[in-house]
């Protein structure tokens, strides 16, 4: 029943109670399982910037390493950033970059053995890695855009595994 | 000379030194001025979700207030998240939402009296507000996408004012 | 024996060792159970301020939502604030407000599946929510007072359930 | 005019805009001056606990030093805890304790050279020091109460100096 | 096989993947056990400073209590400081000081019930306690040196117990 | 007079008051100047590990970039880690590595326009970079030692410039 188990209701914002007030929902009854999520983000910039970031698929200097570390550390900060997120013991975080002609695609994967999913952690890792890329290229291309930030796949939770 | 003053070079990643290693660049010689930046982010979701978030342009319950607070607090956390960002004494942060038919547009404005611009703070505020919106709607629309995250306007720095 | 197991001694400060030095006490042998605690805080202010915060029991604008988010996020920060507190995976946090004639009562409930109680987390949530209320009303009533901050109920630990 | 300069209105919550939404208000036009604030908090507990904390006015062991450090560090964390607080470069923090018969009085003084007052920093220091005292005595007196948390004096701002 | 189980390879940096990129390694398959580590650090300074810090083996004032609290709180911050460290639920932290003739030896012990070892937490606690000692004595001896920071003993993990 | 101006007394711990209690000392009267400090740390390990970290003076993979970012971010966290440190607006941070035969030397330089020196920030950057190096090599050499952590040079403060 939706009324009984609002967490799986397709038609309500579960972080808000009946009266509209926000809460960190009770997950103490949920089962601890191994959960994984993958999210992506894209930084659209210029051919010139891509030339500065790498060539032949290989990164130049520390730029991508800085963004990778930023993303990994941000995954750990997710419950500090997203007010209603539960703290989780992350057991793996990877952040990868694919250099295109005029864009950088970022892929973040997060794993936990916990009671809630880790899609917010994966999205936060991808977003902050993308923000860090922007920070490094903004002197050359202040009009770069962060786009297509979304969850690509999720597994291990009650709601079933899925891949985009 | 660009070689002498890499900070104003249009063709180099100023956060990387000659050997490719990252640094937090020296801004001790820059002038303190009042600086402002505005950034935007969009959460693309469904008509159903928009109905849950508000009606007649008015928000329902705490959802947008939670995302607004998340964005404001994230602006203050920018130097903790973006590795090479300088800490700045923020003097104003606002985060606004415009509810569309099937999307939420976020506008974040940040002001400082400091020696570097605040576009990273504005982008971080907009991004984290957007991530918080996703967190609250993900039970209803796990395929929501964060998009069009970019700087709209900047003023007060040496590189000149501009608006998109 | 109390001497052997100082944690249950009613007559010693368990965070201090024999020589008076502080420690984060060893809880590795304690059993993980579902634990809950509720704490309260009161902000005493004026009738005028209560009129600004809400009417007919309904809050006006974002003020209480800001204080609620502050309280929820502070619960997660407890081990960063209280030096000898153990980090715990919080599984639920709620913060509620009751508007009186000239005071605001705050109720914070925190739940965990962990090895120590969560009364510090509940007290921290209530206190920081109260501080945030003060922050928002201080321009109108700088003499507002935070008072009656205490634990109301605790359950799930070895020392037995209790309610004030 | 209040409408023009809501910051000095005695009859509005300055952190909320016309439409009720929260903001970190613009202080970029305010003058930097040396500002100071003193706040107090009291922990009401038992004669037994006071005997454990000290005797003859002298503290035993690290207990009060732990609470003092907690208060000083919390003052620096104020803008992370109170959502709409501006970050400020604190130039002095002291936290003092006065042991009574069955209560501990805490006095926190904070100073800055900045554009906003430091009463929130002083209140946060006093509150977190009090929470830390509770944490250390809760095994002996779980019914201890934090009370009378208020600003005692403020100087250096535009609104004039005052002492309670 | 190293290729299969790179974590126990004696000849590779396990935090780096084949292509040299950093990751937070996957520990979701590791068994949760009680783990403990002890680390040490030494601050070499002058006889004069030792006289200010204590006499007859007894500390004067709050100096060592401040450094002890700094070390305990830093242990909890380890995953925020060390980019590829996993967050762990610490179940015990102690920090001890031994005053020599012209040096202070620090001993930090950390315990967890978790899936990875806590040597980084013990090293971080010892290092930050040592940095705090330096901070307090630097006005008297700016040439003090932190030295001999190392793990002394580790137990509870798969790689076997050991003591230096 | 030392009694009048304890900050320049060569014979007292300025962070402790007459009664031994700790404080964050008042620096509101100090002049804002450009200040710089350089600190060093050394990680003593094995020839084998040095081979894994780099060859021909060039780093392999992300290892040193990770440690560099850790050091830069730690410099910004100094006032959160060192209890009595004042927050400062850092205007430059660099972290460099020199690979020896069986050791890694780390050099951290920090600059500010502020009222106190930045030697704690430089020491913290060097120490945390060294801890991050240890974290990455510990699977290969658990007996690596962090040593020789000290301030090498300081300029811009009232106490005069100096170099070791």
Model confidence over B65-94: pLDDT tens digits? 999 999 999 999 999 999 999 999 999 999
Confidence of residue E5 (pLDDT cuts 50, 70, 90): very low
- Residue B129 in this model has a pLDDT that exceeds 50: yes
Model confidence over A4-45: pLDDT tens digits? 344 444 568 989 999 999 999 999 999 999 999 999 999 999
Q: State both tokens at D79.
A: 């803008």
Looking at residue B58, what is its pLDDT? 76
Cα–Cα distance for residue pair F152/F106, rounded to 1 Å? 12
Chain A: closest CA distance from residue E26 (Å): 4
Please name which of D142, D61, D57 lies closest in space to residue D105, comparing C-alpha atoms.
D57
CB neighbour burial string for A122-150, b if at least 16 within 10 angstroms, e if fewer: bbbbbbbbbbbbbbbbbbbbbebbbbbbb
For E59, residues 6+ apart whose C-beta sits below 8 A from its C-beta are: E53, E65, E97, E99
Q: pTM here?
A: 0.95
Mean pLDDT across the stretch C63-72? 97
- Residue A149 in this model has a pLDDT that exceeds 90: yes
**B106 SS3 class:** strand
Cα–Cα distance for residue pair F119/F39, rounded to 1 Å? 7
Chain D: closest CA distance from residue B92 (Å): 4
Confidence of residue C55 (pLDDT cuts 50, 70, 90): confident
Question: What whole-number percentage of chain A has pLDDT above 90?
Answer: 83
Contact C54, C136 (CB under 8 A): no
How far from the centroid of its chain's Cα atoms is residue A118's Cα? 8
Q: Which residues of B touch D114 (CB under 8 A)?
A: 89
Beta-carbon count within 10 A of D9 CB: 15
Neighbours of chain C (3+ CB pairs under 8 A): A, B, D, E
Mutate to test the interface with C, among E64, E66, E87, E91 (most CBs of C within 10 A): E91
Mean pLDDT across the stretch B137-156? 96
β-partners of residue D41 are D106
Q: Whats the size of chain D, residue-wise?
A: 164
Looking at residue E160, what is its pLDDT? 83
Distances (CA, A) of B106 to B81, B151, C24, F159: 20, 12, 43, 49
Looking at residue C10, what is its pLDDT? 53
Looking at residue F90, what is its pLDDT? 97
Q: State both tokens at C111.
A: 């739940």
For F164, residues 6+ apart whose C-beta sits below 8 A from its C-beta are: E143, F150, F151, F152, F153
Could you report how far apart the first and last alpha carbons of chain B are, in Å? 29
In the stretch 116-145 of chain E, residues with CB closer than 8 A to chain D read none
Chain D: closest CA distance from residue C120 (Å): 7
Looking at residue E10, what is its pLDDT? 53
Q: State both tokens at D14.
A: 């300055």
H helix or E strand, kind and range, residue E124: helix E119-137
Contact E145, F151 (CB under 8 A): no
Contact F149, F43 (CB under 8 A): no
Question: What whole-number percentage of chain B has pLDDT above 90?
Answer: 83
Model confidence over D107-121: pLDDT tens digits? 999 999 999 999 999
Mean pLDDT across the stretch F16-37? 94
**C147 SS3 class:** strand
Model confidence over E94-111: pLDDT tens digits? 999 999 999 999 999 999
**C131 SS3 class:** helix
Chain F: closest CA distance from residue B51 (Å): 42
Question: What whole-number percentage of chain B has pLDDT above 70?
Answer: 93
Lowest mean pLDDT among B121-135, C103-117, E56-70, E76-90: E56-70
- Residue E4 in this model has a pLDDT that exceeds 90: no
Model confidence over A100-139: pLDDT tens digits? 999 999 999 999 999 999 999 999 999 999 999 999 999 9
- Residue C5 in this model has a pLDDT that exceeds 80: no
Model confidence over D6-33: pLDDT tens digits? 444 456 898 999 999 999 999 999 999 9
Cα–Cα distance for residue pair A22/A85, rounded to 1 Å? 12
Cα–Cα distance for residue pair B78/B93, rounded to 1 Å? 13
DSSP states of E19-71: TS-B-B---TTSPPEEEEEEEEEEEE--HHHHHHHEETTEEPTTHHHHHHHHH
Distances (CA, A) of E44 to B17, E105, E109, E130, F146: 35, 9, 21, 10, 14
Model confidence over B11-32: pLDDT tens digits? 689 899 999 999 999 999 999 9
- Residue F15 in this model has a pLDDT that exceeds 60: yes
**D8 SS3 class:** helix
Confidence of residue D4 (pLDDT cuts 50, 70, 90): very low
**A19 SS3 class:** coil
Cα–Cα distance for residue pair F112/F100, rounded to 1 Å? 30
Confidence of residue A157 (pLDDT cuts 50, 70, 90): confident
Model confidence over D118-149: pLDDT tens digits? 999 999 999 999 999 999 999 999 999 999 99
Please name which of E160, E156, E7 lies closest in space to residue E88, comparing C-alpha atoms.
E156
Looking at residue B7, what is its pLDDT? 42
Confidence of residue C159 (pLDDT cuts 50, 70, 90): confident
Q: F80's torsion region: left (phi>0), alpha (psi -120 to 50) or beta?
A: alpha
Contact F131, E124 (CB under 8 A): yes
Q: Which residues of E touch D73 (CB under 8 A)?
A: 73
For chain E, give percent helix, strand, coil, nearest 5: 30, 35, 40
Looking at residue E98, what is its pLDDT? 96
Confidence of residue E3 (pLDDT cuts 50, 70, 90): very low
Cα–Cα distance for residue pair F23/D110, rounded to 1 Å? 11
β-partners of residue F58 are F55
Q: State both tokens at A102.
A: 């005029």
Mean pLDDT across the stretch C63-75? 97
H helix or E strand, kind and range, residue D47: helix D47-53
Distances (CA, A) of A126 to A34, A64, F20: 21, 13, 48
Beta-carbon count within 10 A of C92 CB: 20
Tally C-beta pairs within 8 A across A and F: 17
Q: Which of B19, B135, B141, B161 is catalytic?
A: B135
D21–B92 CB contact, under 8 Å: no
Cα–Cα distance for residue pair B142/E152, rounded to 1 Å? 48
DSSP states of D65-112: HHHHHHHHHHHHHHHHHSTTPPP--EEEEEEEEEE-SSEEEEEEEEEE
Cα–Cα distance for residue pair F147/E164, rounded to 1 Å? 17
Q: State both tokens at F90.
A: 């850092």
Contact C28, E34 (CB under 8 A): yes
Cα–Cα distance for residue pair A133/A143, rounded to 1 Å? 13
Beta-carbon count within 10 A of B46 CB: 16
Looking at residue B159, what is its pLDDT? 76
Looking at residue C58, what is its pLDDT? 76
Could you report how far apart the first and last alpha carbons of chain A are, in Å? 28
Looking at residue D6, what is its pLDDT? 41
Contact A2, A120 (CB under 8 A): no
Cα–Cα distance for residue pair C156/C113, rounded to 1 Å? 9
Model confidence over E123-135: pLDDT tens digits? 999 999 999 999 9
Q: Which residues of B touch C69 (CB under 8 A)?
A: 62, 65-66, 69-70
Confidence of residue E2 (pLDDT cuts 50, 70, 90): very low
Q: Which residues of F touch A69 (CB under 8 A)?
A: 62, 65-66, 69-70
Q: C-alpha dihedral over A7, A10, A13, A18, to 10 degrees?
A: -80
Interface check A69 vs F, CB under 8 A: yes
Looking at residue C164, what is its pLDDT? 86
For A69, residues 6+ apart whose C-beta sits below 8 A from its C-beta are: B83, E22, E83, F62, F65, F66, F69, F70
């Amino acid at each position: 029943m939706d009324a009984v188990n609002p967490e799986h209701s397709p038609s309500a914002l579960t972080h808000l109670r009946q009266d509209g007030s926000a809460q960190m929902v009770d997950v103490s009854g949920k089962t601890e399982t191994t959960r994984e999520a993958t999210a992506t983000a894209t930084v659209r910039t210029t051919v010139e910037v891509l030339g500065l970031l790498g060539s032949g698929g290989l990164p130049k200097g520390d730029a991508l390493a800085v963004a990778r570390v930023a993303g990994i550390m941000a995954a750990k900060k997710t419950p500090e950033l997203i007010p209603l997120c539960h703290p989780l013991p992350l057991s793996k975080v990877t952040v990868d970059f694919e250099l295109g002609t005029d864009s950088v695609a970022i892929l973040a994967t997060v794993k936990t053995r916990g009671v809630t999913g880790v899609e917010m952690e994966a999205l936060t890792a991808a977003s902050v890695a993308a923000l860090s890329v922007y920070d490094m290229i903004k002197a050359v291309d202040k009009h770069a855009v962060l786009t297509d930030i979304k969850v690509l796949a999720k597994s291990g939770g009650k709601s079933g595994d899925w891949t985009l």
